[in-house]
Chain A
Amino acid sequence: MRKLTIISLFFALISSFTIAAEVNIFSARHYDSDIQLYEKFTAATGIKVNVVSGKDKALQKRITEEGADCVGDLYITADAGRLGAFAAKGMMQNAGWSKAIKDAVPAQFRSAKWTGIAKRARIIYYSPERVSANELNGMTYEGLADPKWKGRLVIRKSNNIYNQSLVASLVKNRGKTTTANWAKGVVANMARTPKGNDRAQIMAVAAGEADIAVANTYYHALMLSGKKGAEQQEAAKKVKPFFPNQQDRGTHINISGAGMLKHAPNKANAVKLVEFLLSTEAQNHIVNNTFEYPMIAGVTPNDLVPGKEMNFVMDTKTSVKSYGAKQADALEVMLAAGWK
């Protein structure tokens, strides 16, 4: 009897009551500032936002296995490579983005199934003490394989999605064979076996472990903001940002974005939420909290973020859609090159 009572108790506990106005999010981006945005959205529209956050792949696995029973509406994550690859598995549907969304987001930053919400650039950071302006003149991502950087470069592991997308863009532009040779050159130039996150790469340059690092733009701003403490603020001042490929296709740009899940039960609400995230109010909130670049025109990036004037050449020719498409090739060439 006791057993029965417990079992029935359980069923009572788990039965969830669906409220009419809600939107369910699977999010791999778990910033407190995002949660504050969702609260603002609920206050403005009365639509409740439910969130499960976690690591990308685990969330994807859960969405895939839940199949038609998945109540998730939006999948929010950083990196177009993730969105593209997941959409390619057939786990998203045409979102029916409203005109407002299509007008706000340039075509190269969205597809029918997903759209960018904020932008970031993956750039080079250097030590002005040990790297001369001359050395960096005309520097490109391709140039990271130049033997002159031998033992002077730090970059994350090959399993990192930002690297995968960067290398995917190289595969797209230069072909797989050229990129495979490039990856070997990069590995030969590494000052240490890859470890740590983007911030750790910047700090390695500040600490003198290496002369140049590859990292995303917002990390530098985060350190400069003092949110990471006074020491890191000082460290951040010891390195300078450099935007590669200014003479050709431009600097590698990536997005944070949202995709419409295949079995989304609250599609209309999900579109409303994305519209809200692309509003001036929300974009201002994002740029000042996560230090990303805005997705829409008319919003200025935070003062601390490198390239805040937005006067650098962005690679707008390489569609972010190719990051997902070339992801497997990218990982393959990196692993084959012995990129840990």
Chain B
Amino acid sequence: MKFNSWYLSSFIVSFVVAIPILTVFASFFQETTNYYDILKNTFLIEYIYNSLTLLIGVLILTLVLGVGCAYVVSFYDFPGVKFFKWALILSFAVPAYIYAYSLTAFFENFGTLYSILKSLFGSGEYNQSIPKFDGMLGAILSVSFSLFGYVYVLTRASFHYQSQNLIELGQNLGFTKYKSFFKIILPSARPAIVAGLALVAMETLSDFGAVSFFGIATLTTGIYDSWISFDDLAFANQLSFFLLLFILGLFFIENISRKRAQYHSPIKGGIKEKKKIKLNFSKGTLAFVFCFLVFFISFLFPVLQMLYWTIIFPKNLFDLNTFQLFSNTIYLVFLSSIVLVVFSFISNYGNRVTKSKFLNFLTTFSITGYAIPGVILAVAFITFIAWFDNTFVKAFEFNSIKKIFIGSVFGLVIVYFIRFYSLAYNGLKTGYERINRSIDESSYLLGYSKIKTFLGIHVPYLKNSVFLIGILITIEVIKELPITLILRPFNFETFATTAYIFASQDLLEAAAVPSLFLILIASTFILITSKFILKD
């Protein structure tokens, strides 16, 4: 076994990532007592119904928004098109829970919209006529506007590489634009759209912040409640089973689409540069209004609402220990990016050199960790550490390891690692697949060792991928909420936890300041990478 150390390290990485899934399944065999046996079936149906309603609502909305925007900016030329191309991805900077706060603040009784109406038209009974975007509708809107970017980015990339010939074909066949869109453009971009929607679906099912803010009982909040509130492991696992079923199905769909998407991208011969169709005034205005509305609602609206509060209640700005929050956030980002990138490198390389089927399977299995809701991941991690400590560590009379893992930055980074591993792993894998294996062979022939090939050839070659992945992880970690909330050490807050805790104490206006900082920092990172995100 020449590749022992590579094999072993890849194996360990994949195994660590697989722990929470194993823990959830292992708990299947535990029994618990509870009071609500009779009601459970009703709950189960309600949770599944709510999850499905949310899912379908979000999928429809993200499909329309994502594909609509991608289509308009890819094929047409109108005022502002260059701006919207990147501005639309800024929606990634607004987590669904912060969107939910803004939505509530703006539309609630005596909320911001009421104030605006009052200052414009004087006192009046506006509350009754202001639409209320809360409950399920609020959740669908919040999640959709924070996630449609996935569909937008992937679809746009697909449109970008779509051969101009296809469009000309449509014209030659005498198709109307409408018909070309539905018969040619859309079907050829389908794999990319499905992949984007699958990502959206996974994120939607695992959303906790927005959904719990609106009090919607989904499978994820149901698991949380039955596990944490009622110590009802059996029911929690029953729910987890359904959730994982959903998620594995989506994961499967996403994987297949991703593979198919590759066949659809022109490999040889390059692409013919598309000539964008210049829109006349009225259609151009329409395109502009559509893009602007999406940009406004997804990004400017929450930012402006938070800004409004910060201005109205400036005390909150000065009370906040911004520097401390900033350094905590950046500290977490820095550690987790490094760890993720380093270990995904090792794992990718291990998979490459060992060519082991088993390892490949384990890796594929372990990256489903991405699809497990963060809140469940965090609790599964605590449960696992406690079990491990009680079963093994105590048995050999070692000192307890719990303090090392629970309530420490170390533990936090491990769980981030599990959560975002697939992001890092897949990102690098895409890069790796572009390095021809013959390069490795040549390197060995030239007398380079494995490690030298790795450090001297692969690492420099993948510099750009690493940079991009680092930033994507950064954006995710900045926004991450449930894991940080559950596992963080004493006296340790980030922008996300501060915003959430203020909001949960009914101090939404105080949550505005940390939310605003969070969005600004995430936006900065998105702008740095917009060039890369839009290309690939």
Contact = CB atoms under 8 A, between A and B. Distances in A.
B115 interface: yes
B125 interface: yes
A68 to B, nearest CB: 7
A24 B490 contact: yes
A10 interface: yes
B267 interface: no
B413 A67 contact: no
A58 interface: yes
A194 B135 CA distance: 10
A229 B342 contact: no
A208 B125 contact: yes
Interface in B219-259: 225, 227-229
A248 interface: no
A62 B342 contact: no
Interface in A28-83: 29-32, 50-55, 57-58, 60-62, 65-69, 71
B36 A195 contact: no
B127 interface: yes
Contacts of B502: 30
A208 B492 CA distance: 43
Interface stretch (B147-155, B181-189, B298-306, B404-412): B404-412
Contact of A229 (B115, B485, B504): B115
A135 interface: no
Contacts of A232: 110
B53 interface: no
A7 to B, nearest CB: 9
A200 B497 CA distance: 23
A231 B118 contact: yes
Contacts of B228: 57-58, 60-61
A332 B34 CA distance: 11
Nearest to A223: B110
Contacts of B312: 229
Nearest to A160: B215
Contacts of B338: 6
A17 interface: no
B506 interface: yes
A235 B510 CA distance: 20
B36 A229 contact: no
Contacts of B501: 30, 53-54
B533 interface: no
Residue among B115, B229, B404 with the most chain A CB within 10 A? B229
A14 B406 contact: no
A14 B504 CA distance: 29
A96 B124 CA distance: 57
A204 B342 contact: no
Nearest to B403: A69
Contacts, number: 146
A206 B110 CA distance: 9
A231 B105 CA distance: 12
B410 A10 contact: yes
A193 B487 CA distance: 34
A66 B488 contact: no
A231 B413 CA distance: 43
Contact of B115 (A2, A32, A198, A231): A231
B346 interface: yes
Contact of A52 (B110, B342, B400, B488): B488
Contacts of A50: 490-491
Interface in B397-444: 400, 402-404, 406-410, 413
A207 to B, nearest CB: 4
Contacts of B319: 32
Contact of B382 (A24, A57, A65, A194): A65
Given A204-B109, A207-B110, A3 B342 contact: yes
B114 A66 contact: no
A16 B411 CA distance: 14
A299 interface: no
Interface in B481-521: 485-492, 497, 501-502, 504-506, 509-510
B108 interface: yes
A220 interface: no
What DSSP secondary structure best describes chain B's contact surface?
Answer: helix
Given A6-B339, A31-B505, A232-B110, A328 B403 contact: no
Count class of interface residues, chain A: 35 or more
A206 B510 CA distance: 23
B30 interface: no
Nearest to A26: B490
B207 interface: no
Interface string B453-497: 000000000000000000000000000000001111111100001
A196 interface: yes
A222 B508 CA distance: 13
A168 B9 CA distance: 54
Contact of B108 (A51, A203, A219, A234): A203
Given A11-B410, A30-B505, A31-B505, A51 B491 contact: yes
Given A55-B485, A231-B115, A157 B402 contact: no
A197 interface: yes
A58 B486 contact: yes
A58 B227 CA distance: 10
A269 B407 CA distance: 21
A2 B454 CA distance: 13
A13 interface: yes
Contacts of A336: 39
Interface in A311-334: 328, 331-332
A199 interface: yes
A206 B485 contact: no
A209 interface: yes
A159 interface: yes
A205 to B, nearest CB: 9
A228 interface: yes
Contacts of B118: 231
B169 to A, nearest CB: 52
B410 A52 contact: no
B379 interface: yes
Nearest to A60: B228
A234 B292 CA distance: 35
B109 A62 contact: no
Given A65-B382, A229-B312, A14 B109 contact: no
A219 B505 CA distance: 11
A259 B111 CA distance: 37
Given A24-B490, A50-B490, A68-B400, A207 B109 contact: yes
Contacts of B214: 195
B343 to A, nearest CB: 8
Interface string B283-297: 000000000000000
Nearest to A193: B135
A29 B506 CA distance: 11
B383 interface: yes
A232 B312 CA distance: 13
20 contacts: A11-B404, A16-B408, A50-B491, A52-B491, A58-B379, A60-B228, A66-B386, A66-B402, A193-B135, A198-B506, A200-B109, A203-B109, A204-B109, A207-B127, A209-B109, A209-B128, A229-B110, A229-B115, A229-B509, A332-B39
Question: What 5 A-B pairs have minimum CB-CB distances, sorted nearest first?
Answer: A207-B127, A50-B490, A203-B109, A207-B109, A231-B110
Given A52-B407, A61-B382, 6 more contacts: A13-B410, A32-B510, A68-B400, A198-B506, A230-B115, A231-B118
